[in-house]
Structure 1
Amino acid sequence: MSEKLYAVIDVETTGKGIHGNRITEICIVVLKGDTVIDKFTSLVNPECPIPPFITGLTGIDNDMVRDAPRFHEIAQRIIELTTGAIFVAHNVNFDYNVIKEEFKNLGYSFVRKKLCTVRLSRKLIPGMFSYSLGKLCSALNIPLEDRHRAEGDTDATVVLFQRILSLDPEFKVINKFLNVRSKEATLPPHLKAENIDQLPEETGIYLFKDQKGKVIYAGKAKNIKQRVVSHFYDKKNKEYALGQETYTIDFEVTGDELVALLLEAEKIRKHYPKFNKAQKKPVAPYCIMYYTNRKGVIQLAIDRSHTFDHSIEIFYTRAEAIEKLEQLCEKFQLCPRYCSLQTTTERCSHYKIKNCKGICIGDESVALYNMRAQQALSSLKRDQKSYFIKGKGRTFNEQSFVMIQDGVYRGFGYLQNDEQILNSEDFDTYLQLQKHTYHTTKIIKSYLRKHGDRNIVPI
């Protein structure tokens, strides 16, 4: 093992994520054991403009790379230096994936075993304040010149890796990291493998947190561990960036998928994680509103509102709201014109609803019409039912419940199977109060459409 070849590599790039991220400079130092036997450094023409903020970071500008070789011109040299060698880098997945993508563009499959000096340092040099290359070199008195240039960073990483080799003389840690079944090769640089080992293979929610403990992503899963690990195999830019900022992962077992969905929605609402896109954008649902017009007639209309008036139903599309208004019109013999189903100021002439009693042309009194309009509004209020949705618990002798009261989601809780519940007030002891939102309403409605009344207990 001491004669093993290692290719310590650093690349500077145009900084556009993994896909579309082009190399502007590369340095490769080849070690046999802990001895340097070869070195290659070159600027690279990325064949695209270098953003100003990247120039500010690395000092590499468009003029510097204009006459530099393109990647395909140095590709053969990279293959020669890395063939039979283990690919070593500080935060290895970044450098490895960028080079792999460059070769993919050439139609070549670049596959190498790899080692990450961030993860190796965390294991063999524990207790450091930071494992960034700059901070780590400063703490360990490793010289680092030309920071954010490929050669300067590679030279420092070589010294760091030599230090790591001296701390693992029997290669127990390195062999574990090289094991294809080991999580060490696929996990983000700052996440401990023990954190993954502790994740349950059960239904619930999980929270990715950054270095300061701030939630940066919230998700739900039927199998928490399996879903979390899948994030790290996904090579999309978003998933890669998420992994780079993740330091710890918390979880909460719910047992029931509906509870997991509702709890996920609450975590997103509360923490507003930077990597969650769904459910973050405020949504104004469609509502059936009513008002009294200048003639004293109760007029129904469709509007959007961020405030929840729970006496009227909310809808996720305008088409659903129109369909409900048409049903009210037919059932209570209302006028399509006064239900905002047509804009004409003359007599109503709806293509489907023909049972208007003539309020629009003065053939019916306002009082009689308003009486039926009030009945229609009351029917909407009666539709806001109170019930529980039963589900799986977190253990075999437990069950979950989701509480909806007068159409409003109040929260969820857990009961032992042998618990004696005499009335709805008894549930309050076990209820974890939650916020009623557009998204929780949508989740519950979707559940009811899929499962019907199978697990419903009326209050």
Structure 2
Amino acid sequence: MKDQLFAVIDVETTGGGINGNRLTEICVVLLRGSKIIDKFTSLINPEKEIPRHITGLTGIDNEMLADAPKFHEVAKKIEEITRDAIFVAHNVNFDYNVLRNEFSDLGFDYSRRKLCTVRLSRKLIPGLFSYSLGRLCDSISIPISNRHRAEGDTDATVILFQRLLSLDEDFKVINSFLHARSRQATLPPHIEAEQIHSLPESPGIYLFKDRQHKVIYAGKAIDIKKRVVSHFYDRMSKEYQLGQETFHIDYETTGNELIALLLEAECIRKYYPKYNRAQKRPGPVYQIVSYFNQRGVLQLALERTPKRRESIGTFYSRPLAQEKLEYLCREFKLCPKYCSLQANVEECSHYEIISCEGICSGKEEVAVYNEKVTAAIASLTEESSTYVIRGKGRHFEEESFVLVKDGKYQGFGYIDQHEQVSALQDFEPFLKRQPATYHTHKILSNYMRKQGAPKITFFERVSEASIDIATARAHKNAALLASHGTLSLFQ
């Protein structure tokens, strides 16, 4: 290892995320073991404007770069000086990915083994307040000048790396970081590998937190460890920046995906993390409403609304709502015209639904038709049942449950399998109450539509006495829920 080549590198860029970053300056110091044997430094014309804030940070402006070589003019030198060398940098993934992208734009695959002096320092010089280059150098008395310029930062990183080499004389730590199966170089600079290794390989939610323990991202996973690590392998600019700001990872196992989804939605609502985009705002819903028209006919219609409100039934996509209206038409022999499935026609002539008994042509009495509509509405109201969804727990001797009361999400909990629970009130002591939101209702609606009813126990709405799941009514409710995916949102 004493004859190993190390290329210590620092780059300055135009900013704009990994994919939009272009090089403005590079410095490469080549070491054999700990001895400096070569050095290359150059400004680089990025062929784009330098933002003011970048000029303010680095001092590099458009005028300085006007006559500088373009990357393709220095690419061969960079490839040669780093050939057969291990790529070393402070926060290596940034410098490496920027340089790799520059080579990729020229049609070349640039690949080197990597070492991160941030992660090496955390391992070999533990306990420091900060491992940013400036503060780290201050802490261990390394001189650093011409800060935020490639040569100045590289010179300081070289001295730091030489110190680290002296602290790892048998190269045990460095070799572990270079091991083909090691994820050390891929992990964010502020996360210890032990923290990743301790993550469970089971369903649940995970929280990425910044230095001040503020939640910056909340996610759910069937396998928490696998999902967390996948963030750090993603080369998207957003994922890279998330990794740079993550200092702590918390998690909570849930036993199954449904509770993980519900808990993720609550964490996003509660913490409003900066890197979560989905679920921050309610989306539009489609609701079935009823009204009497001028003829006195009780008519059904579909409304798109930006927020939940009382209705006969609420859906999270127009096709599902349309499917439900068609189902009601067929099941209760309603008229497509008066269910808003046809417009601008005197008499219904739906291509598929032919069950209308003549309300639109005057052959059916209004009172008789309205009774059928009332029955259809009642069937939807039945779908806002009180029920419990049971599932896997966090360990072998435990099972989970999600409670919905009168169509409204109440929360979830866990029960030892030896506990006897049958009536609704038996679940209350184990319930962890959660707020019902647009997103929790959507999650449950989608679950009922996709999963069906094998693990669902229904309860009477009025008496709240438990009933046998094998009864006809339970099966009817379950079939309606599973087939049509509706979940009423009465408050």
Asked whether the two chains share a fold, i.e. TM above 0.5, the reply is: yes
Distance 1:322 1:184 in 2: 52
How far apart are 1:44 and its partner, in Å?
0.8
Moved more, 242-251 or 216-225: 216-225
Matches within 5 A, 1:203-214: 203-214=203-214
Equivalent residues of 1:210, 1:248 under 8 A apart: yes
Partner of 1:34 in structure 2?
A: 34
Equivalent residues of 1:310, 1:407 under 8 A apart: no
Moved more, 87-96 or 273-282: 273-282
Which amino acid counterpart does residue 397 of structure 1 have in structure 2? E
Partner of 1:17 in structure 2?
A: 17
Partner of 2:446 in structure 1?
A: 446
Matches within 5 A, 1:153-192: 153-192=153-192
Equivalent residues of 2:8, 2:89 under 8 A apart: yes
Distance 2:280 2:391 in 1: 27
Moved more, 428-437 or 328-337: 328-337
Partner of 1:395 in structure 2?
A: 395
**Equivalent position SS for 1:399:** strand
Structure 2 residue ranges without an equivalent (≥5)? 460-491
Distance 2:324 2:113 in 1: 61
Partner of 2:320 in structure 1?
A: 320
Distance 1:179 1:331 in 2: 65
**Equivalent position SS for 2:99:** helix
Distance 1:425 1:90 in 2: 58
Partner of 2:483 in structure 1?
A: none
Moved more, 115-124 or 176-185: 176-185
How far apart are 1:361 and its partner, in Å?
7.1
**Equivalent position SS for 2:282:** coil
**Equivalent position SS for 2:426:** helix
Aligned CA distance change for structure 1 residues 356 and 214 (closer, same or farther; 3 Å): farther
Distance 1:357 1:260 in 2: 49
1:355 equivalenced with 2:360 (yes/no)? no
**Equivalent position SS for 1:18:** helix
Partner of 1:250 in structure 2?
A: 250
How far apart are 1:283 and its partner, in Å?
0.7
Distance 2:17 2:73 in 1: 23
Distance 1:456 1:216 in 2: 35
1:4 equivalenced with 2:4 (yes/no)? yes
Root-mean-square deviation (CA, aligned residues, Å) is: 2.6
Distance 2:76 2:269 in 1: 51
Equivalent residues of 2:289, 2:311 under 8 A apart: no
Aligned CA distance change for structure 1 residues 306 and 270 (closer, same or farther; 3 Å): farther
1:78 equivalenced with 2:62 (yes/no)? no
Which amino acid counterpart does residue 348 of structure 2 have in structure 1? S
How far apart are 1:292 and its partner, in Å?
4.8
Distance 1:394 1:363 in 2: 57
Aligned CA distance change for structure 1 residues 326 and 26 (closer, same or farther; 3 Å): same
Distance 1:152 1:348 in 2: 83
Moved more, 22-31 or 353-362: 353-362
Distance 1:221 1:323 in 2: 31
**Equivalent position SS for 1:19:** helix
Partner of 2:221 in structure 1?
A: 221
Distance 1:448 1:324 in 2: 14
Moved more, 34-43 or 441-450: 441-450
Distance 2:194 2:183 in 1: 10
Equivalent residues of 1:311, 1:381 under 8 A apart: no
Equivalent residues of 2:282, 2:307 under 8 A apart: no
Aligned CA distance change for structure 1 residues 355 and 182 (closer, same or farther; 3 Å): closer
Aligned CA distance change for structure 1 residues 123 and 339 (closer, same or farther; 3 Å): same
Equivalent residues of 1:134, 1:144 under 8 A apart: yes
Matches within 5 A, 1:264-413: 264-292=264-292, 298-309=298-309, 312-332=312-332, 334=334, 336-344=336-344, 347-351=346-350, 352=353, 355=356, 357-358=358-359, 364=365, 370-413=370-413
Which amino acid counterpart does residue 146 of structure 2 have in structure 1? D
- 1:280-317 CA-partner distances (Å, limit 9, x unpaired): 34212111123455776544322234544466221122
Partner of 2:53 in structure 1?
A: 53
- 1:436-459 CA-partner distances (Å, limit 9, x unpaired): 233333333333333322222222
Partner of 1:196 in structure 2?
A: 196
Equivalent residues of 1:26, 1:42 under 8 A apart: yes
Equivalent residues of 2:357, 2:363 under 8 A apart: no
- 1:214-239 CA-partner distances (Å, limit 9, x unpaired): 22222222221122112222222222
Distance 1:117 1:139 in 2: 15
**Equivalent position SS for 2:394:** coil
Partner of 2:482 in structure 1?
A: none
Distance 1:350 1:393 in 2: 52
How far apart are 1:362 and its partner, in Å?
11
**Equivalent position SS for 1:185:** coil
Distance 1:306 1:22 in 2: 42
Aligned CA distance change for structure 1 residues 333 and 76 (closer, same or farther; 3 Å): closer
How far apart are 1:401 and its partner, in Å?
1.4
Which amino acid counterpart does residue 31 of structure 2 have in structure 1? L
Which amino acid counterpart does residue 177 of structure 1 have in structure 2? F
Partner of 1:120 in structure 2?
A: 120
Partner of 2:99 in structure 1?
A: 99
Which amino acid counterpart does residue 445 of structure 2 have in structure 1? K
- 1:41-78 CA-partner distances (Å, limit 9, x unpaired): 10111223333332232222222222211212112211
Moved more, 320-329 or 4-13: 320-329
Equivalent residues of 2:357, 2:364 under 8 A apart: no
How far apart are 1:423 and its partner, in Å?
0.9
Structure 1 residue ranges without an equivalent (≥5)? none
Partner of 2:431 in structure 1?
A: 431
Q: Percent identity?
A: 59
How far apart are 1:113 and its partner, in Å?
2.1
Equivalent residues of 2:208, 2:215 under 8 A apart: yes
Aligned CA distance change for structure 1 residues 355 and 108 (closer, same or farther; 3 Å): closer
- 1:62-111 CA-partner distances (Å, limit 9, x unpaired): 22222211212112211222123221111011101111222222333322
1:263 equivalenced with 2:263 (yes/no)? yes
Equivalent residues of 1:259, 1:412 under 8 A apart: yes
How far apart are 1:12 and its partner, in Å?
0.8
Equivalent residues of 1:337, 1:360 under 8 A apart: no
Equivalent residues of 1:401, 1:414 under 8 A apart: yes
How far apart are 1:353 and its partner, in Å?
5.5
Distance 1:171 1:310 in 2: 68
Equivalent residues of 1:342, 1:348 under 8 A apart: no
Partner of 2:481 in structure 1?
A: none
Matched positions, count: 457
**Equivalent position SS for 1:411:** strand
